[in-house]
Structure 1
Amino acid sequence: MKKIFVVMVTLCMTAGLLSGCGSKDSGTSAPAVSATPAAAEESPAPAAETPEPSESPQAPAVTDDETVIHVGALKGPTSMGMVKLMADSDAGTTAGKYEFSIHGAVDEMTPKIVQGDFDIAAVPANLASVLYHNTKGQISVLAVNTLGVLYIVENGETVRSVADLKGKTLYASGKGATPEYALNYILKSNGLDPAKDLTIEYKSEHTECVAALAADPAGVAMLPQPFVTTAQVKNPDIRVALDLTKEWDNAQEGQEVKSSLITGVVVARNEFIEAHPDLVHTFLDEYHTSIDYVNGNVQDAAKLVGSYNIVPEEVAVKALPACNIVFMEGTEMKDALSGYLAVLLEQNPKAVGGALPDETFYYSR
């Protein structure tokens, strides 16, 4: 028990370094809820472009293992990709047996992962690394489920490239956490000094950034999805100027092994992986199918997102195409994630638990 207490205290100390999709000011926060859907709203939603689905997974592995898989996730993009799997599970049509728990804040999930209440969990990418170190290698990352969700927005038409941020005042939240580190990396990769070439004014909440943007016609802000869409619903004049995921990719040009800006991953306890390998394979296949469905059927997926109280349907239908929900495993996952964690390590080792995870951190089937 003493060891668990020490681990939990350490995790609480690092909580301020983490950036999850379910931050308290994202417009989606709520106490932990069950995955039983409420009545879906039937109001018409505007059409939205959808990204091409990833390569279709194989049929889920057939298994005689009747163990219930306990899955935890945060409200926001990292749980949006699960909604079809959640709905199919509630309908009793999945190969695996699941119990889902959706939470509004990362500090609600962390002790449950450490204590083994969750077999599998969708968490911020850097938290996975912190957990790996603090549990002495007792978890593995199964897949990347969300790329970057950060965007530069403005009221006008002045920002068309990262270079255009020079001389600007940029309002942002996430100081001392992964949003700041991602922003610094992209600015430096484009020849800008974050301390000299622009003024970055950090706020404690996303809503404060939007308020500051409204008061400063020449200002710009860095916001995550789905809060970008929430803000645009309230103020249609807000324009997405830069997608920081694409800007990260641009900064990777010429690199032999390319990393990605990553928001979320799925982890599992190694004890569960070793005891139920077939169930892990089944989950990954069914989760991959769910993500393909969400990306390929935005309006239907948005109804499910709203029904599970992750974000309102009218926000989800606009936000989903910009949430960069993906399914990456194996070598592709390792290359993208290890490079991302290396960028964080360079700026603040505590953000990844003090060091890069070793090879055993990356699950491969």
Structure 2
Amino acid sequence: MNDLSRRRLLQLAAASAALAALPGVGLAAQAGLRAATPLGLPQLILARALQDERLKALAGEPDLRAWRDPDQLRAWIAGGEVQLTATPTNVAANLYNRGVPVVLMNVNVWGTLGMLSLPRPFDSLSDLAGRHVGVPWRGDMPDLVLRYLLARQGLEVGRDLRITYHASPFETVQMFLARRLDAAVLPEPMRTATRLQGASLGIEPGELDLQREWARLTGGAAALPQAGVICRRELLEAHPDWVAAVQAAVAEAVPWVNAEPAAAARLGAEQSPLSAPVFEGAIARTRLEMQTAAQARPALEAFFGALAELSSGFIGGGLPDDAFYLADG
């Protein structure tokens, strides 16, 4: 880590700790439930859940906003501007380990990562030997999952293949469609968007599901606990009925998305700049399953532990303790 990155990390940690030390900042300033989400399938699931009339009867019309990056989310959740958010699970653990009073409610996205490749065929990670791969967000989930699996496959970056990192998936997509990469690691829905855009350019990439590669190389399930919903502890203490209602609504939203992908895709398009065909393709390629935090804990700890072998900063330190997980019942 260079000096600039280290200073920035320390500044973020200090700011989060200072804000977190002021319990309930912003929570009482406005009425109603204030929620946030990243773009993509977590946004779609939470948007559907917040339409639940039983929840509205308790908390009123919710305010749902989209955060552009984890830094913005940290500021919002640490300062109490939002009380509840959909988020990648490692970001949730990072917030908790840095002193922000958050509670993981559930995990509902179990596999968005995949790889597109030119030219075909592309059957396993062993086919990456001698190739140039683009990866967004160095040190974050796509990078660590890929490097963990490459090690399991017996491939070494720099010796067997080349990786170029990009600041965002959009840059990775641009480089891939310009044919300046042999392969690209992308989360959904960016992977589907790239496939659709590539088709218009006469590009038909091969595709590899990294969850299936995880199962093949580790002997575990073809599922990675990647995203879920967290809330501020003050919300749980002040309005446990709201939290229970959100949890129940998410439990109904996930099977609805799976059963009604076209309707779900239309809802997603209403909530974001992504098109309905992009959402529909992403739904088909992603395992969506609602598990409470308590139910998902064994899978989370195995996932966190594996990737923390490569970078302890992935979750901001050690495994979160009991207080991180919302208790069932």
Please give the TM-score of this superposition, normalised by the length of structure 1.
0.74
Question: For residues 259 and 219 of structure 1, what CA distance do their matches in structure 2 show?
Answer: 25
Once the two structures are superposed, the pairs formed by residues 5-154 of structure 1 within 5 Å of their partners are 9-10=12-13, 68-88=32-52, 94=56, 96-97=58-59, 98-135=62-99, 138-154=101-117
SS of the residue 1:83 aligns to: helix
Q: Deviations over 1:211-233 (max 9, x none)?
A: 43345488121122111121122
Asked if the contact 1:259/1:335 (under 8 Å) is kept, the reply is: no
Structure 2, gaps ≥5 residues long: 1-8, 17-30
Q: Residue 223 of structure 1 corresponds to which residue in structure 2? A: 186
SS of the residue 1:156 aligns to: coil
Question: For residues 148 and 318 of structure 1, what CA distance do their matches in structure 2 show?
Answer: 14
Question: For residues 310 and 161 of structure 1, what CA distance do their matches in structure 2 show?
Answer: 33
1:249 aligned to which of 204, 210, 215: 215
Question: For residues 219 and 234 of structure 1, what CA distance do their matches in structure 2 show?
Answer: 17
Question: For residues 227 and 164 of structure 1, what CA distance do their matches in structure 2 show?
Answer: 22
Asked if the contact 2:122/2:206 (under 8 Å) is kept, the reply is: no
How far 1:105 sits from its partner (Å)? Answer: 2.7
Q: CA RMSD in A?
A: 2.7
The one-letter code of the counterpart of 2:112 is V
Q: Deviations over 1:318-360 (max 9, x none)?
A: 2222233331114431011111211232111122112221122
Q: Residue 119 of structure 2 corresponds to which residue in structure 1? A: 156
User: CA, structure 1 residues 339+135, in 2 after alignment: closer, same or farther (shift >3 Å)?
Assistant: same
The one-letter code of the counterpart of 1:313 is A
Question: For residues 336 and 95 of structure 1, what CA distance do their matches in structure 2 show?
Answer: 34
User: CA, structure 1 residues 321+310, in 2 after alignment: closer, same or farther (shift >3 Å)?
Assistant: farther
Whether 2:128 is the aligned partner of 1:165: answer yes
Asked if the contact 1:151/1:241 (under 8 Å) is kept, the reply is: yes
Asked if the contact 2:223/2:287 (under 8 Å) is kept, the reply is: no
User: CA, structure 1 residues 268+205, in 2 after alignment: closer, same or farther (shift >3 Å)?
Assistant: closer
Asked if the contact 1:7/1:134 (under 8 Å) is kept, the reply is: no
Q: Deviations over 1:153-197 (max 9, x none)?
A: 123322101211122221222222221111011111222223322
How far 1:7 sits from its partner (Å)? Answer: 8.6
Q: Residue 36 of structure 1 corresponds to which residue in structure 2? A: none
Question: For residues 181 and 242 of structure 2, what CA distance do their matches in structure 1 show?
Answer: 53
1:183 aligned to which of 126, 146, 150: 146
SS of the residue 2:280 aligns to: helix
Q: Residue 56 of structure 1 corresponds to which residue in structure 2? A: none
Whether 2:229 is the aligned partner of 1:280: answer no
Question: For residues 214 and 118 of structure 1, what CA distance do their matches in structure 2 show?
Answer: 37
User: Which protein has the bigger helix share?
Assistant: 2
The one-letter code of the counterpart of 1:275 is A
User: CA, structure 1 residues 177+169, in 2 after alignment: closer, same or farther (shift >3 Å)?
Assistant: same
Asked if the contact 1:151/1:240 (under 8 Å) is kept, the reply is: no
Question: For residues 219 and 284 of structure 1, what CA distance do their matches in structure 2 show?
Answer: 42
Please give the TM-score of this superposition, normalised by the length of structure 2.
0.82
Q: Give the structure, 1 or 2, with the largest relative contact order (CA under 8 Å, sep 6 or more).
A: 1
Once the two structures are superposed, the pairs formed by residues 189-204 of structure 1 within 5 Å of their partners are 189-204=152-167
Q: Deviations over 1:273-306 (max 9, x none)?
A: 2232232222101111111111110001111111
Question: For residues 168 and 239 of structure 2, what CA distance do their matches in structure 1 show?
Answer: 41
User: CA, structure 1 residues 200+273, in 2 after alignment: closer, same or farther (shift >3 Å)?
Assistant: same
Asked if the contact 1:82/1:291 (under 8 Å) is kept, the reply is: no
Q: Deviations over 1:224-264 (max 9, x none)?
A: 211112112221123342111222233331x6xx6952331
User: CA, structure 1 residues 248+310, in 2 after alignment: closer, same or farther (shift >3 Å)?
Assistant: farther
Asked if the contact 1:81/1:325 (under 8 Å) is kept, the reply is: no
Q: Deviations over 1:72-126 (max 9, x none)?
A: 211112111123223445xx88554333222333322211211222222111211
Asked if the contact 2:144/2:307 (under 8 Å) is kept, the reply is: yes
2:305 aligned to which of 342, 345, 361: 342
Structure 1, gaps ≥5 residues long: 1-5, 14-66
Aligned length: 301
Asked if the contact 1:12/1:107 (under 8 Å) is kept, the reply is: no
